[in-house]
Structure formats: C-alpha cells, structure tokens
Amino acid sequence: MEKSLLAPGHRACAGCAMPTTIRLVLDAAGPNTIVVSPTSCLEVTTTPFPESAWCVPWIHSLFENAAAVASGVEVMLKRRHLDTNLVIIGGDGSTFDIGMGSNSGMFERGHKMLYVCYDNEAYMNTGVQRSGSTPFCVHTTTTPAGTQSLGNPRPKKDMPAIALAHRVPYVATASVAYPVDLRRKVKAALQVNGPSYVQVNAPCITGWTFEAGYMIELARLAVETGLWPLTEYVNGELVGVKKVRRPKPVEEYLKAQGRYKHLFKKTDGADMVKQIQALADANIAKFKLVD
Amino acid sequence: MSKGNDSRKHQNTANMKVVEGSYAVAHAVMCCRPDVISAYPITPQTHIVENLSQMVADGELDSEFLTVDSEFSALSVLIGASACGARSYSSTTSQGLALMYEVLYNVSGMRLPIVMNVANRALGAPLNIWNDQQDSVGARDVGWLQIYVEDVQEAVDATLQAYKIAEDAKIRTPIMVCMDGFILTHVYEPVELLDKELAKEFLPKFMPADILDPAHPKTFGAFADPFTYTEFRYQQFEAQQKALEKIELVAREFEETFGRNYGGLIDSYHAEDAEIILLTMGSVIGTIKDAIDAMRSEGIRVGLIKVRSYRPFPVSALRKALKDASVIAVIEKDVSIGNEAGLVTDLKAAFYNSSIRIPIIGFTAGLGGRDITIKDIRKIVEKAEAARKGIKSEFEFLNLREEIL
C-alpha cells in the first residue's frame, strides 16, 4: 500500500476511529485533493503549529463554517478549471448542529464537494457533551445518567434525511468497520457533479468508553444490530443497503460501552434497552436489512 | 494633506456622473476585478451587492457571486476563496458585521487580504436601521485595518486603495472601508467613476505565494499553543504598524494616477492656525466644513482633523497635527458603553506619554441616525471654547432628549 496521506505522529487517542476514517477517505480520494475541516478533535490532533499530519492541502477556519469555506474553495477550483477533489471532513457537532446553516447553504447551492462526517455521536473534543447526533439514552457529560435521568432523552437527528431534503445527489452512511464499502462510497461520491454527503460511524474510545482495540468490532456491531444501517442514496433513491444476515440483539452492542452502562444497573434500564431494540428493528424493517 | 481648501481640487468635473453612492462603490469594486464576491442582504448595504450581481449578470464583471445563508457564511466563503488566491469582496453593516465577528478575527489571523465595505449602521436593541458607527468602531480590535470615508467619491477611491494596501506582501491584512449608511450609500451625488484601465494599472493582479494547491500541499489554520500564539498576534500588530506608511504611500500613488488625495491617515481643514480643533470620522465632516466656513468668517479660529485610518491608529500623525491646538473636541457616532467612546479614548491615550497637554472633550452624536446639524457643531465649538478654561464635562451625549428619559 502506498504511503498514507495522513502522516503518522498525529496526536489522536490510541483506539480512535477518526484517523482511520481520514486515512480511508484520503486513500480513496488520492493526492489531488483539498481538505477543509471545521474545528474538532481532528484539527487539534493533526495540526499543532508548526507541525501538520496532512500531506494534502488542508484548511481549517472555524467550528461552524467549513461548508462555507469549502464553497469559496470550490468556486475558485471551477474558476481555474481545476479538476481537484474537494472534501470536507468534520465531526458530528459541526455537521449536525453548529454548522447546520452553512451546510444547508452549501447543499442548496449545489457545490461540487464531498462532505464526510466522522460521527462519534457527541462533542468529544470538549469532553463528551451531547450533540444533535447523540443517540437515545446515551450518557454524556451534559446528559448524564442519574437518579432522575437515563441519559440523552432524545433520539439521534436524521442528518442523511436532511441532506436528502436538500436534493443532495449522493448520500450514504458508512462505517469505519467496513473499509472497502467506505472507500467505494467516497469514490462514488467524488464522481458526483454536485454535493455529496457520507456519514461514517466512528467510535470514540474516551466518549463511548470501550476496551482499547475494540473500536472496529464495536462499529461492526452497530451495523450488525441494525442501529447503524449502511445505506446509499443516488438522486434521492435508495440504491443499496448492506444486508445483515442474522441481526444481533442491541444489548450486545450496548453492553460493550460505558456510555450505556447505566441501562444495565438501573431497574428501568431494561425498558430503555427494549426501546433501543425497537429503533434497531425499525431500521431493519425500513431498509429491509434482512432478506 | 489639504490646508483648508477642497482636497479634490484636481477633480475632472467633465467625467462626473450623478449616481447613487452604492452604485459608485459597486463600480469601484468592479474596477478592482474581484474573483469572488459573497454577501448577505442587510439594509443599508444591499444596494452595493445588488449592483454587483447585476454587473455579473450582464457580463460586465467576471466574478463568482455567491448568495449565502448568512453574513457569517458570506465572509467564511471568502476565507476559502482567498486561501485559493482569490481577490475577494464583501460588504455588510451593523447586525451583519456583528454576526461575522468570529470570522473577522479568523480572516485577519489567517492574514487574508479581504476588502469589505461597511455601510455603517446602528446596532440593536432597540432595532434601528439608521446610521451611526457603533458597528465598525466596536470591531476595532479584530485585526482589520479600518478606513472611514467622508463622501461617495472617497468611498470609491478608498475601495481601490484598500486592495493595494491589504494585498501588500508585508501587510497582508484585511480592510474595512467604512461609509456612513444611507447618508453615503443612498445619496445621489456627482462622482467621478474609476477608469477601468487606470485601476488595472494601479492595482495589479493578486498573486499570493501561499495557496491551497495539491502540487504544494500546505496547512492553513493550524492551532497555536502558548509557545507560538503571541508571535502570531505580534506579527499582525507589526503589519498594522507597517500599514501606517503604506496607507500614506498608496494615497500619494493614487493622487499621481487619479489626481485626488484625501491625506492618507488623516486629513485637515483649516487646522494649521486653529485654536479649537474638531476631530471626527465619516460623513459628518461635510457639515463640519460648512460650519467651519461660517465660523471662520466670524473670526473663530476653528479647524478640523479627520481620521481616515482608525486602525492602525495614526498616533504620530495626530500628535503632529494637533500639538498646537488650544482645545480638541472629538465628535463620534459611537459609544463604548461603560467608558466614553472609541475615538476620544484612543486620542487621549495617544497624547498621554507625549509632551502635549491639551484639554480634550468628547461627544457622542448622531446615534441611530439622529442628524448632526451646523447648529450642533457650533454648540460643540462653544463648549470647547469654554473647556479651554477648565473641563466641566469630559464626555457627553450631544442633544440628549432629557424630556423622554
């Protein structure tokens, strides 16, 4: 395999899915690529001045403006007739919440770029606070489990549906545990003459609390339980899903993570596990994950 | 610097056209040939970008014009464009500038030479769309250069000058060209529009060395820890100090090409022998000049110093221009709630460690679009005259309507 376009020596945690995700995205995109990133773990672990782990041109401005910054890059690439890939790589906080305005603007203006969200389901860079992407019942530092709380009271925001509502021509979900699928989707997205959105499940070892070395297995469990369906939409039509042969119970996924451990200690936790199973079952039915 | 007469003495009246201020500025922007323009609608700035988008629509201007979801995104788009080597333009005002606040620091910190017209307007609450300068004066510390203009002609000329200053490799700092909203953006007056070819000669192509280019991958916007952060800010500070000279130089070069001069950092009107000097920025200067003419005919030795460059603040130029006055009255359309107002505080600070000991009094006036009349200027001059014998009120709100308090 060729040299990675994300150099080693970055400062991400051991067992973090983010650098692996970036490497897979860059492998697929190649060196003729410009990356724009919002403020995130990614930014602070890969670019401590005067060092940089990036072997492609990379720009960071603010937390909520990556899509607008990238729009400015895109019009200049077009103006100069350059056939360069343009990829945003950002976390779920900027993608789902604070950057929503500029994301919406970029989607509806139809700029040619790929937006990759590495989704670790909370604000990890600031210490595991709830984001719009945090799933139901997850313990975060701002939705803590407690005597009166079972964690995050709301389900995860459906960001791919929001992208689809903007008529984004290519929308997909992917997982760090399925690298072939992820690379293929990145390549497909980069062929689109317009915006594309790929949301990658990327477990966070400190925020989710799991055994070091278990990251890929955990991401795979999310898919195998039906909680993270791997989907692909072209021009608004669902064109592909990753089938799940025998769906695993969500309990197996939840038990492996500290962020759900309160559900197995509290008496009313069992009911919540049932509700989470119902969310997985709904995905299995909606996307016909089982043949 | 003019010595009391009209600084536009070389103006070629044959080429003048009566146009709206916003059109004149849009025309100037067109002559600067920006690659990318991005803006969001807000009164009283909208006419500038409406004109620009029409120029693009008619093929008069070859620019990428982006309509965006907010002022925040408008300026953010220009960060990406400018990092690709684009000459970039936006304009905004008031709430829009406030919404950009975070981006303003980012643009200057990344040393991207973006030019933006600010159509100065009051900030809410209470909501008010009329002119004052609280918006840009409040943003004096964000690292942008700030030029305040007196009339539409100067707005036109300063816009072209702005790119030349901002894009200088030793400066590389964004600029706000601040023009009073409505008073200058919506007025129709005779203006000499820029000659495209002359503007091209005056302002060559923008060719930055560092851009986003896969052939030479570079990292933009890294984070800096306590070991390096201070030096980033120091370099910005240094660039603004270098801009003091550059602004003067560009003013002289502009005069050589176009025949008009506004004095660079500051300008003056009957200030040389004046005992009472009024110090201000922006369009109120027209009124002040008329008031000075009238008072001079009555034998009152009053003059004006106009601050064009508020950032960098021209400390030396002001010391030199004001040192022989007996009293200074600062008139400004902003207020630093909690401590007088921007210009008067900065002026006092500029004098403190010098040998200059002149009484300085400050007036906040024209907030939220309230007119400043010749009568008001006379009142200020009377108060300044009285302050020579001892300051009774160091700072006040001019024409405060006590009856509605």
Domain ranges of chain A: 17-286
Check pLDDT > 60 for residue B368: yes
Task: Catalogue all structural domains in chain B, each as residue range(s) with its CATH number.
Answer: 13-258 (3.40.50.970), 266-404 (3.40.50.920)
Residues of A in contact with B225 (CB under 8 A): 48-49
- Residue B219 contacts A, CB cutoff 8 Å: yes
Prediction pTM value: 0.96
Neighbours of A151 (CB within 10 A): 22
- Minimal Cα–Cα distance from A104 to chain B, Å? 8
Smallest Cβ–Cβ distance between B68 and the set A61, A77, A105 belongs to A105
**Judged by CB atoms within 8 Å, which residues 138-157 of B form the interface with A?**
none
Which amino acid belongs to residue A279? Answer: L
The confidence score (pLDDT) of residue B11 equals 59
Query: What pLDDT is stored for residue B80 in this prediction?
Result: 98
Q: Which of the residues B62, B72, B79, B218 would you substitute to probe the A interface, choosing the one with the greatest number of A C-beta atoms within 10 Å?
A: B79
The dihedral formed by the CA atoms of B375, B378, B380 and B383, expressed in degrees to the nearest 10: -130
Contact status, residue B326 vs residue B385, Cβ threshold 8 Å: no
Radius of gyration of chain B (CA): 21
Give tens-digit pLDDT for B213-257.
999 999 999 999 999 999 999 999 999 999 999 999 999 999 999
CA B77, CA A106: separation in Å to the nearest integer?
Answer: 10
Rounded to whole angstroms, the Cα distance separating B178 from B144 reads 12
Q: Assess B389–A contact: CB distance below 8 Å, yes or no.
A: no
Minimal Cα–Cα distance from B134 to chain A, Å? 25
- Going by pLDDT thresholds of 50, 70 and 90, the confidence category of residue B10 is low
Q: A17-286 sits in which CATH class?
A: alpha beta
Q: Across the interface, which of B36, B70, B214 has its CB nearest the CB of A56? A: B214
3-class SS of residue A195:
strand
Res. B5: pLDDT tops 50: no
CB < 8 Å to B35, chain A:
76, 79
Average pLDDT value over all residues in chain B: 96
Give the span between the Cα atoms of B393 and B161, in whole angstroms: 39
Residue A132, classified by CB atoms within 10 Å of its CB into exposed (0-12), middle (13-18) or buried (19+), is middle
Contact A49 B228 (CB under 8 A): yes
Cross-chain residue pair A68–B77, CB shorter than 8 Å? yes
ipTM (interface predicted TM):
0.96
Query: Taking CB atoms and an 8 Å limit, are B88 and A55 in contact across chains?
Result: no
Q: Which residues contact B299 (CB under 8 A, 6 or more apart)?
A: none
CA distance B70 to chain A (A): 8
pLDDT band at B1 (very low <50, low <70, confident <90, very high): very low
Does residue B137 sit at the A interface (CB-CB below 8 Å)? no
Chain B residues touching A49 at Cβ < 8 A: 222-225, 228
A&B contacts, CB < 8 Å: 150
* CA A175/CA A201 separation, integer angstroms: 5
Decide if B72 and A76 are in contact by the 8 Å CB cutoff.
no
Local confidence pLDDT in tens for the 291 residues of chain A: 568 999 999 999 999 999 999 999 999 999 999 999 999 999 999 999 999 999 999 999 999 999 999 999 999 999 999 999 999 999 999 999 999 999 999 999 999 999 999 999 999 999 999 999 999 999 999 999 999 999 999 999 999 999 999 999 999 999 999 999 999 999 999 999 999 999 999 999 999 999 989 999 999 999 999 999 999 999 999 999 999 999 999 999 999 999 999 999 988 999 999 999 999 999 999 999 999
